[in-house]
Structure 1
């Protein structure tokens, strides 16, 4: 009888242990899935709809109009700087002084040669690198001369060709949704992590292409002047 009781106790103990083991494995799997979900970037650039209160920049150029949705939550200083400059007319009449087909178009320098411009604070401001923003085609980003040297110059990513190897060769482990977005939208992943992305083109990519495809002279400057007429901000 004692042997039967002992055997029964042992069986119950093993069953409980197995149940605990099963529960632990399930909890671990759920925890891992939750962590992966939390780590997955929220790619706000993919949402082209404009909600009430979201700022949009309408850039009227000599070649046509480009509309860009801005992301103040992700890059507050870059957006504040850009919006303030735009409202004050800082960019009016400024050239696209550097354009490279299948790369980007650059502007924002009142001197028109890439050596000028300053922030609204009168001094450079730091980069704002967000895990939710990337250099997809159509991205608006701050140009700089090195880390944390942002002023007034900006560029719009234009590249429409991107091989899978161009994504894989980056010294970064991209989340799956970022890789898929790059495959779909194209862009320049090599710029990620070094420059502040703060907007995404929602209308006028054909105008961006038109500007990028312009014939250039020394220093990638367009042979004919391409200018920003004005930038209107709606919020």
Structure 2
């Protein structure tokens, strides 16, 4: 892993976010072509979303799933097993767990949804930059603590011409 290479904005919380100490049981990894993304899950604000992500990671649901929508300077979206941006899992949609505790800054991870607040299922996005207009409108369930350089190198586009994929997602071994 690229210890020490995460931008200061991720370590300190550029928007003044104060994150809890990283715990092994709330550490998630995503292997991508350009490296490993280490994620701190935040069950203190989104317990049902964190539970869903852990379930999917354990089941291998996300392995091989592409980043189907990557907007330079904004966010990288994935989690649709069909790769179209319209799919999800067979599980029921989740009720929103919006928070005012954290904001959408670089490295924060939120659940994508349809028009209804309570329509998040399996798709999520990683912020490439701060986006305060998303605060209170999408569930935040984690943040990148290492490997943001790998996120920055994900192929851009809506969809990308040659989309990158999550090779493997897994919990702390």
- Where on the TM-score scale, by shorter chain, does this alignment land: which range? 0.7 to 0.9
**Deviation of residue 54 (structure 1)?**
4.2
Structure 1 position 198 matched with structure 2 position 141: yes
Normalised by the size of structure 2, how large is the TM-score?
A: 0.85
Unaligned ranges ≥5, structure 2: 1-15
| Structure 2 residue aligned with 1:43 | 17
**Deviation of residue 68 (structure 1)?**
0.7
| Structure 2 residue aligned with 1:4 | none
Alignment of 1:52-67 (within 5 A): 53-67=24-38
CA contact (8 A) 1:117 1:153 kept: yes
**Deviation of residue 209 (structure 1)?**
1.1
Of 124, 138, 163, which aligns to 1:154? 124
| Structure 1 residue aligned with 2:10 | none
Q: Say which structure is richer in strand.
A: 2
Alignment of 1:106-185 (within 5 A): 106-118=77-89, 122-146=91-115, 147-159=117-129
Structure 1 position 93 matched with structure 2 position 36: no
Higher relative contact order (CA 8 A, sep 6+): 2
Change (3 A) 1:130 1:54: farther
**Deviation of residue 61 (structure 1)?**
1.1
Q: Which entry has the higher C-alpha Rg, 1 or 2?
A: 1
Q: What is the number of equivalent residue pairs in this alignment?
A: 157
**Deviation of residue 118 (structure 1)?**
2.4
| Secondary structure of the corresponding residue to residue 67 of structure 2 | coil
| Runs of 4 or more consecutive aligned structure 1 residues displaced over 2 Å after TM superposition | 42-45
Unaligned ranges ≥5, structure 1: 1-41, 160-186
CA contact (8 A) 1:97 1:222 kept: yes
| Structure 1 residue aligned with 2:165 | 227
State the distance in 2 between where 1:215 and 1:229 align: 17
State the distance in 1 between where 2:51 and 2:58 align: 11
State the distance in 2 between where 1:44 and 1:87 align: 28
State the distance in 2 between where 1:215 and 1:50 align: 30
